[in-house]
Amino acid sequence: MDPLAAIAAEVQACRACPLWKGTTQAVPGEGSGESGIFFLGEAPGFHEDQQGRPFVGAAGQLLAELLAGIGLDRSKVFITNVVRHRPPGNRDPLPDEVAACDIWLRRHLDALQPRVLVTLGRHAMGKFFPGESISRIHGKPRVVGGVTVFPMFHPAAALRQPSLRPSLMADFTALAIFLATTPAVADEPAPPADQMTLFGR
Ligand code: SF4
């Protein structure tokens, strides 16, 4: 079986935290590793829960537009969230829930070995840069545990606060430049999933 399909099937059966209760289905993530870009968002919302796909609403539309702006189709990137079941009432995911769901992030990173992991919003950023301010570090990639992490604002934040949109567009341009100017083979390859420690909370 295709590794991503195998992971998705396991995510659907996951009961490692209580978030699965009351949801329609899990939202494991979708896309491909073709571009080397791996997006990590926050959590599924209502429409994502209904469809089993990440970023299907207005934020997803904006993400697709931003990708098109740098010449990429959504199908060429991988998109997932820090938790893969919808939190009740769209509340923020709790630290224990995010920690429980780390196993799937590790599995996806191990399967895809992306060139860059783009965190969308403060929940995903906080996994790699705890205590940092997204306003301060967005658009500045840093290598964390062998993975290049590129923090950005969440597209939903730019929809709520249009003044953030130029920053998001500039960060996508910076991402395109990074990919064009950074060798495809990382100097420091990501360690095997079972040796990663960067997700400890
Ligand atoms: S949110 Fe993650 S850890 Fe919790 S049940 Fe769903 S897949 Fe498992």
CATH number assigned to the domain comprising residue 115: 3.40.470.10
Is the CB of residue 15 below 6 angstroms from any atom belonging to ligand 1?
yes
Whole-number pLDDT of residue 184: 66
Q: Cα dist. 41→6, 59, 81, 126 in Å? A: 21, 11, 4, 11
In a domain, 201, yes or no: no
Torsion of CA 102, 201, 148, 173, to 10 degrees: 90
Number of H helices, E strands in the chain: 8, 6
Answer yes or no: is 117 within a domain. yes
3 state DSSP class of 3: helix
Question: DSSP 3-state assignment of 40?
Answer: strand
The number of residues making up the chain comes to: 201
User: CA–CA separation, 171 vs 46, rounded Å?
Assistant: 27
Q: What pLDDT band is residue 127 in, cutting at 50, 70 and 90?
A: very high
Please give the pLDDT value at position 134: 95
> Model-level pTM?
0.91
The CB of 94 under 6 Å from ligand 1? The reply is: no
Ligand 1 binding pocket mutation candidate from 19, 86, 92, 106 (most atoms within 8 A of CB): 19
Is 113 a domain residue?
A: yes
Distance 127 CA to ligand 1 centre (A): 16
Whether residue 143 contacts residue 116, with contact meaning beta carbons closer than 8 Å, is answered with no
Residue nearest to atom 3 of ligand 1 (CA): 101
Q: Is residue 114 part of a domain?
A: yes
User: Are the C-beta atoms of residues 76 and 32 closer than 8 Å to each other?
Assistant: yes
Strand, helix or coil for residue 184: coil
pLDDT-based confidence at 145, cuts 50/70/90? Answer: confident
Number of domains within the chain: 1
What would the pLDDT profile of 155-194 be if each residue is shown by its tens digit?
A: 999 999 999 999 999 999 999 999 999 876 544 444 444 4
How remote is the CA of residue 83 from the centroid of ligand 1, in Å?
A: 6
Residue 137 lies in a domain: yes
pLDDT in tens, 79-125: 999 999 999 999 999 999 999 999 999 999 999 999 999 999 999 99
Q: Which domain holds residue 66?
A: 3-195
Nearest to 34 by CA among 109, 115, 102, 96: 115
| Residue to mutate, 10, 12, 17, 127, ligand 1, most ligand atoms under 8 Å from C-beta | 17
Question: For residue 17, which atom of ligand 1 is closest to its CA?
Answer: 4
Bridge-based pairing of strands 30-31 and 78-81 is antiparallel
CA of 173 to the centre of ligand 1 (A): 33
